[in-house]
Amino acid sequence: MARVPPQYVNVPSAVVYAGGLSAPLFQAYVMLRGLAWENDYRETPVVTLDELAQMLGCSDRSLRGYLAELEREGRIQVRRRGTRRVVIRFPDPPGTEEPPTAGETTPADTVPVSPGMPTGRVAGMLLLAAVTLAVWLLATARPRGGEQ
């Protein structure tokens, strides 16, 4: 069985906010993408259709329908590896661009990227860590002085 991600699933915002997927189909997409975490969210390891159906909590028929619909929409590419084994690839969704390189400027609503400044996945992970730390500090802070 493919390993599930240890903490979170990285889903492009273009997929989250574009709409067009029913709730069960979106849930299937997120769960399938989660299996690709060890391959930088590009593709899953080889997995059987039975394992996928069990993980998604659906019938084999529903699974085949989800895979066909997601493939038709261009959100996944299913690569057969034998009779009931597959690898699922996740092409870049429409509207996603590579992060700018050092020295390039980005659209007006963001700041230029400085040399040595993390971009892409690293920047996202650093931001997540900073927000998590801030929430934890706020939740565990004790009142100062005479405050009760």
Domain boundaries, the chain: 13-89
* pTM for the whole structure: 0.62
| C-alpha 24, offset from chain centre | 16
Residue found by looking up tokens 């529903």 in the block: 62
Whether domain 13-89 has CATH 1.10.10.10: yes
Number of helices (H), then strands (E), belonging to the chain: the values are: 5, 3
CB 43 within 8 A of CB 90: yes
**Rg of the chain, C-alpha, whole Å:** 20
User: How would you write the pLDDT of the chain (148 residues) with one tens digit per residue?
Assistant: 678 888 888 888 888 887 788 899 999 999 999 999 888 889 999 999 999 999 999 999 999 999 999 999 899 999 999 889 999 999 976 555 555 555 554 454 444 455 555 566 666 677 777 778 777 777 777 666 655 5
